[in-house]
């Protein structure tokens, strides 16, 4: 996409007005997933497997069906009966298998059957009367164990073309890439370090559980209200699983209490629709926190080996990594992304990376901010840190010496366009944090991080009202203040105040297709589409002015919210404000709108550098992050406060992942900590004030230079914190989370 209209001077972009949904959020007026009601509504509940791996021999629902409050019960048979369903393949089949088990329960928490009853209590009581006979099967929940010969096979035939012969059937995807000669590179090095690193699965930890209200009639027409990051993918997936036509299912996205990648697929929505179709009444399902942990996607866990060679002057001569990720009982763990991100920050002559996607008896993993990249950085940046330490080199200088820049051949292949890694490193080096003295017992860690970012299918529609105000309809659920950013970009083009623009997240019936709010794509792609839609409207406004003045359309330009003659030859006319044109638009050609539909393909990759200070209580093993600074390239910060919010959010979630969060499975393969009491996300007292520095190296693929910021911020924290804790504890930390027992153990065993 040629972008010859790049803008660098802004009136509205770069300001920080209050978010348009602020009052709704603080007064409780905002409607989230569980806030919808319908006449005659039933409540759904889902029976879940208590076993990690078990054949389902028989499901007897007769006792539950006999209850007068029970109006419908569904099992997998209620999906398979649909004529369309037997044709399901690929990811649709995986999703169906995940939302309702077929002949085998694949993990603790896997859905087996569902009930719709007149109250939530009655539905839950009815679950107890469903008799399921299981035949327990051997299970495996650890990625390394799952790859070993003799490990229980989760599903034969799930591997695709990429897996070389001879690997265990649980290895379902394989990636290998790189360039140069790593062995020759290691031979050139003065020091080579190879180490093994492990991260546990963590949950996205969104505060709002999944919730939906579904209506589906015998005529194949349905309505669905749900908490999601993308309602068009919900529409497409549910239609496929239920065997109905896509356009006959209208999906509306509720406000969303966090997603972070975990709400980019469906879990309860097809179940609620199936129950509704059977009961012929609306059905609402709200997940408990226990269900969220057991049956929605955590991130993958990882086992990784990284080897890096370095010269005494800090030059990296070669890098090699093997990344094994388990993604639960389905293909999808981002072994490929992990491998491709691992060495991307560095300009390497010799590099090789291998990624494995491995199935285990755990819930189907879902995306979590920059899926794969945080784990990769943990392994890579820990080894670089250790090389710097042993060679007596400054960690930022070493990273600057090896940093990728425009024209660098990336570790995953192509050459980079304009990127801002060096600028983040320079800003980190200049930040007072980097030169601040440390207290005894404290350590400082540095890490870089990388993420690709994404564009995706996007539709935006903008309509003008007679009074000159603006309605902007976008299709990407607002998960981080994006309505404010969209309004700022529309205001910039139209030249009208931010407050005059009302941004709505349209439902699937009122706007063209939109991909999910993921891949840090919203401010980039919906923003680009908003700019183009506003420019489309401006063109129509100029045409009305031209007609009024009796001059050619190309003799009119748009300036400060007014149509004006484009030059002295166009004639002398007073500026015609937007509101004056719209006041009479019904009599001058009809309503004025603008729209834009495209798949923008210039998202622009993104880099960050984090600085962390941590201290370790050597008696208890408790770690505290005492200072944290995020430096990240945003391309152009449309709303700087919300960019800072994304930076801080990524760091806060990274602190949780690094220090405390983990899925703990017992020997039976059951999740032991499916509650926030036992699965510890950071609370305010765990966090320091997270300082931020916004670096702006414009993205060549966006008219204002925007790069997505939502994901890159979680790439460096695991490594930066591990490097800080390792420095404070004087022992290399190789396993996350660095919970007090692990730190104590490391202190005792010296690593």
Partner 1 sequence: MVEVHLWSALRRFADGRETVEVEASTVGQMLDALKRDYPGLAAPIDAGVSVSVDGRIIASDLTEPVAPESEVYLMQRLRGG
CB 487 within 8 A of CB 531: no
The residues that bridge with 305 in the sheet, in sequence order, are 196, 322
| Cα dist from 145 to 150, 218, 359, 379, whole Å | 9, 47, 11, 20
Question: Assign residue 555 a region: left if phi > 0, alpha if psi is -120 to 50, beta otherwise?
Answer: alpha
Q: Which is nearer to partner 1, 542 or 603 (CB)?
A: 603
Q: Which residues, numbered 169-228, are part of the site for partner 1 (CB under 8 A)?
A: 174-178, 204
CB 321 within 8 A of CB 372: no
Which residue in 107, 368, 434, 704 binds partner 1 (CB under 8 A)? 368
Which residue in 18, 417, 499, 672 binds partner 1 (CB under 8 A)? 417
In whole angstroms, the minimum distance from the beta carbon of 339 to partner 1 comes to: 9
Q: Which is nearer to partner 1, 605 or 652 (CB)?
A: 605
Q: Which is nearer to partner 1, 448 or 479 (CB)?
A: 479
- Residue whose C-alpha is closest to residue 477's, from 523, 516, 513, 434: 516
Question: What is the helix (H) or strand (E) element at residue 689, kind and residue range?
Answer: none
Q: Which is nearer to partner 1, 270 or 298 (CB)?
A: 298
Question: What is the helix (H) or strand (E) element at residue 683, kind and residue range?
Answer: none
641-647-649-653 Cα dihedral, nearest 10 degrees: -170
Query: Does residue 521 interact with partner 1 by CB under 8 A?
Result: yes
Which residue in 13, 70, 605, 722 binds partner 1 (CB under 8 A)? 605
- State the Cα–Cα distance between residues 492 and 502, nearest whole angstrom: 14
- State the Cα–Cα distance between residues 105 and 115, nearest whole angstrom: 18
In whole angstroms, the minimum distance from the beta carbon of 234 to partner 1 comes to: 16
Q: Which is nearer to partner 1, 95 or 581 (CB)?
A: 95
- Which stretch, 7-15, 93-101, 131-139, 414-422, contacts partner 1 (CB under 8 A)? 414-422
Cβ neighbours for 195, distance < 8 A, ≥ 6 positions apart: 305, 306, 307, 379, 382, 383, 386, 732, 734
- State the Cα–Cα distance between residues 76 and 95, nearest whole angstrom: 12
Query: Does residue 160 interact with partner 1 by CB under 8 A?
Result: yes
What strands lie across the sheet with 576-577, from one edge to the other?
A: 556-559, 562-565, 576-577
In whole angstroms, the minimum distance from the beta carbon of 602 to partner 1 comes to: 6
Q: Which is nearer to partner 1, 276 or 520 (CB)?
A: 520
Query: Does residue 519 interact with partner 1 by CB under 8 A?
Result: yes
- Which stretch, 314-322, 366-374, 430-438, 464-472, contacts partner 1 (CB under 8 A)? 366-374
The 3-state DSSP class for residue 316 equals strand
The 3-state DSSP class for residue 613 equals strand
Query: Does residue 453 interact with partner 1 by CB under 8 A?
Result: yes
Q: Which residues, numbered 309-338, are part of the site for partner 1 (CB under 8 A)?
A: 334, 336-337
Query: Does residue 661 interact with partner 1 by CB under 8 A?
Result: no
Q: At what angle do helices 740-749 and 717-729 cross, to 10 degrees?
A: 50
In whole angstroms, the minimum distance from the beta carbon of 228 to partner 1 comes to: 14
β-strands 131-136, 54-60: how paired?
A: antiparallel
Which residue in 71, 139, 281, 352 binds partner 1 (CB under 8 A)? 352
CB 268 within 8 A of CB 296: no
Query: Does residue 416 interact with partner 1 by CB under 8 A?
Result: yes
CB 48 within 8 A of CB 295: yes
| Cα dist from 540 to 462, 465, 511, 557, whole Å | 12, 14, 20, 11
Q: Which is nearer to partner 1, 644 or 711 (CB)?
A: 711
Q: Which residues, numbered 243-262, are part of the site for partner 1 (CB under 8 A)?
A: 260-262
Q: Which is nearer to partner 1, 110 or 175 (CB)?
A: 175
CB 105 within 8 A of CB 295: no
- Which stretch, 139-147, 368-376, 384-392, 630-638, contacts partner 1 (CB under 8 A)? 368-376
Query: Does residue 413 interact with partner 1 by CB under 8 A?
Result: yes
Q: Which is nearer to partner 1, 602 or 703 (CB)?
A: 602
In whole angstroms, the minimum distance from the beta carbon of 413 to partner 1 comes to: 4
In whole angstroms, the minimum distance from the beta carbon of 199 to partner 1 comes to: 16
Query: Does residue 162 interact with partner 1 by CB under 8 A?
Result: yes
Query: Does residue 415 interact with partner 1 by CB under 8 A?
Result: yes
Which residue in 371, 477, 480, 565 binds partner 1 (CB under 8 A)? 371
In whole angstroms, the minimum distance from the beta carbon of 580 to partner 1 comes to: 39
Q: Which residue has the tokens 């992990």?
A: 338
CB 153 within 8 A of CB 104: no
In whole angstroms, the minimum distance from the beta carbon of 665 to partner 1 comes to: 23
In whole angstroms, the minimum distance from the beta carbon of 654 to partner 1 comes to: 13
In whole angstroms, the minimum distance from the beta carbon of 12 to partner 1 comes to: 27
* Longest CA span, the chain: 86
Query: Does residue 161 interact with partner 1 by CB under 8 A?
Result: yes
- Annotate each residue in 478-517 with x if it binds partner 1 (CB under 8 A) or - if it does not, as one string: ----------------------------------------
- State the Cα–Cα distance between residues 714 and 374, nearest whole angstrom: 6
Q: Is the dihedral of CA 641, 642, 647, 653 positive or negative?
A: positive
| Cα dist from 209 to 96, 226, 258, 379, 645, whole Å | 20, 11, 9, 32, 22
Which residue in 100, 129, 342, 367 binds partner 1 (CB under 8 A)? 367
Q: Is the dihedral of CA 249, 250, 256, 262 positive or negative?
A: positive
Q: Which is nearer to partner 1, 351 or 744 (CB)?
A: 351
| Cα dist from 235 to 392, 509, 533, whole Å | 56, 10, 25
Question: What is the helix (H) or strand (E) element at residue 750, kind and residue range?
Answer: none
Q: Which is nearer to partner 1, 81 or 417 (CB)?
A: 417
Query: Does residue 456 interact with partner 1 by CB under 8 A?
Result: yes
- Residue whose C-alpha is closest to residue 628's, from 434, 385, 380, 370: 434
Which residue in 455, 480, 656, 717 binds partner 1 (CB under 8 A)? 455
Q: Which residues, numbered 57-116, are part of the site for partner 1 (CB under 8 A)?
A: none
Residue 485 CB neighbour total at 10 angstroms? 25
In whole angstroms, the minimum distance from the beta carbon of 100 to partner 1 comes to: 24
Q: Which is nearer to partner 1, 49 or 606 (CB)?
A: 606
Q: Which residue has the tokens 């590179």?
A: 185
- Which stretch, 393-401, 429-437, 454-462, 676-684, contacts partner 1 (CB under 8 A)? 454-462
Query: Does residue 520 interact with partner 1 by CB under 8 A?
Result: yes
Query: Does residue 454 interact with partner 1 by CB under 8 A?
Result: yes
Q: Which is nearer to partner 1, 565 or 708 (CB)?
A: 708
Q: Which is nearer to partner 1, 636 or 742 (CB)?
A: 636
The 3-state DSSP class for residue 97 equals helix
Q: Which is nearer to partner 1, 104 or 453 (CB)?
A: 453
- Which stretch, 129-137, 470-478, 480-488, 599-607, contacts partner 1 (CB under 8 A)? 599-607
In whole angstroms, the minimum distance from the beta carbon of 309 to partner 1 comes to: 20
CB 449 within 8 A of CB 647: no
Q: Which is nearer to partner 1, 222 or 334 (CB)?
A: 334
Q: Which residues, numbered 692-731, are part of the site for partner 1 (CB under 8 A)?
A: 700-701, 711
Query: Does residue 414 interact with partner 1 by CB under 8 A?
Result: yes
Residues that bind partner 1 (CB under 8 A): 160-162, 174-178, 204, 260-262, 264, 334, 336-337, 340, 352, 366-371, 412-417, 451-457, 518-521, 599, 601-603, 605, 700-701, 711
């Amino acid at each position: 996409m040629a972008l010859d209209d790049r803008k660098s001077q802004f009136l509205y972009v770069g300001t920080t007005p209050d978010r348009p949904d602020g009052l709704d959020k603080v007064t409780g007026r905002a409607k989230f997933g569980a806030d919808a009601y319908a006449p005659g509504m039933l409540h759904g509940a889902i029976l879940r497997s208590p076993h990690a791996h078990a054949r389902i021999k028989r499901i007897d629902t007769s006792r539950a069906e006999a209850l007068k409050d029970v109006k419908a019960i569904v099992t997998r048979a209620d999906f398979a009966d649909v004529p369309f369903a037997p044709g399901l393949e690929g990811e649709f089949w995986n999703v169906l298998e995940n939302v309702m088990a077929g002949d085998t329960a694949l993990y603790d928490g896997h859905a087996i059957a569902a009930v719709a009853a007149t109250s939530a209590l009655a539905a839950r009581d009815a679950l107890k009367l469903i008799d399921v006979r299981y035949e327990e099967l051997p299970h495996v929940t650890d990625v390394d164990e799952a790859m070993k010969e003799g490990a229980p096979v989760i599903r034969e035939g799930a591997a695709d073309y990429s897996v070389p012969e001879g690997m265990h059937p649980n290895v379902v995807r394989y990636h290998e890439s790189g360039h140069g000669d790593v062995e020759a590179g290691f031979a050139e090095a003065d020091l080579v370090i190879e180490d093994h690193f492990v991260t546990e699965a963590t949950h996205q930890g969104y505060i709002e559980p999944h919730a939906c209200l579904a209506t589906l009639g015998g005529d194949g027409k349905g309505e669905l209200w749900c908490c999601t990051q993308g309602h068009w993918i919900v529409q497409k997936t549910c239609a496929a699983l239920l065997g109905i036509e896509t356009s006959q299912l209208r999906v509306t996205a509720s406000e969303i209490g966090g997603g972070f990648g975990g709400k980019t697929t469906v879990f309860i929505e097809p179940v609620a629709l199936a129950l509704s179709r059977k009961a012929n009444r609306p059905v609402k399902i709200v997940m408990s926190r226990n269900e969220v942990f057991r049956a929605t996607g955590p991130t993958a866990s990882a086992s990784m080996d990284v080897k890096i060679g370095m010269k005494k002057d800090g030059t990296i001569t070669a890098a090699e990594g093997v990344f094994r990720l388990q993604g639960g009982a389905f293909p999808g763990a981002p072994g490929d992304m992990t491998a491709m991100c691992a060495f991307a920050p560095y300009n390497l002559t010799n590099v090789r990376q291998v990624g494995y996607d491995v199935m285990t008896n755990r819930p189907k993993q879902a995306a979590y901010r920059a899926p794969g990249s945080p784990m990769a950085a943990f392994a890579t940046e820990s080894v670089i840190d250790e090389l710097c330490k042993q060679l007596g080199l400054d960690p930022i200088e070493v990273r600057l010496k090896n940093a990728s820049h425009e024209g660098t051949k990336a570790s995953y292949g192509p050459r980079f366009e304009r990127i801002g890694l060096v600028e983040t490193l320079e800003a980190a080096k200049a930040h007072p944090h980097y030169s601040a003295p440390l207290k005894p017992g404290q350590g400082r860690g540095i890490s870089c991080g990388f993420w690709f970012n994404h564009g995706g299918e996007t539709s935006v529609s903008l309509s003008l009202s007679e009074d000159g105000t603006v309605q902007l309809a976008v299709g990407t659920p607002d998960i981080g203040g994006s309505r404010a950013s969209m309004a700022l970009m529309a205001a910039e083009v139209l030249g009208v105040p931010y407050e005059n623009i009302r941004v709505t997240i349209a439902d699937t019936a009122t706007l063209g297709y939109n991909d999910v709010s993921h891949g840090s794509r919203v401010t980039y792609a919906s923003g680009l589409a908003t700019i183009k839609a506003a420019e489309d409207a401006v063109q129509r406004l100029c045409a009305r002015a031209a007609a009024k003045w009796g001059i050619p359309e190309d003799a009119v330009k748009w300036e400060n919210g007014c149509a004006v003659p484009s030059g002295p030859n166009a004639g002398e006319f007073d500026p015609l404000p937007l509101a004056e044109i719209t006041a009479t638009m019904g009599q001058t050609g009809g309503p004025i709108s603008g729209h834009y539909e495209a798949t923008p393909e210039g998202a622009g990759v993104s880099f960050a550098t984090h600085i962390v200070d941590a201290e370790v209580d050597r008696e208890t093993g408790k770690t505290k992050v005492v200072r944290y600074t995020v430096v990240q390239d945003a391309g152009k910060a449309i709303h700087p406060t919300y960019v800072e919010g994304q930076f801080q959010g990524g760091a806060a979630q990274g602190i949780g992942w690094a220090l405390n969060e983990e899925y703990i499975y017992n020997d039976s393969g059951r999740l032991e900590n499916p509650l926030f009491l036992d699965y510890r996300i950071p609370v305010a007292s765990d966090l320091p004030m997270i300082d931020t520095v916004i670096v702006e190296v414009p993205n060549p693929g966006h008219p204002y230079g925007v790069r997505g910021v939502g994901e890159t911020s979680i790439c460096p924290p695991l490594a930066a914190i591990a490097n800080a804790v390792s420095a404070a504890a004087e022992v290399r930390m190789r396993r996350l989370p660095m919970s007090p027992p692990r730190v104590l153990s490391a202190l005792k065993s010296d690593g």
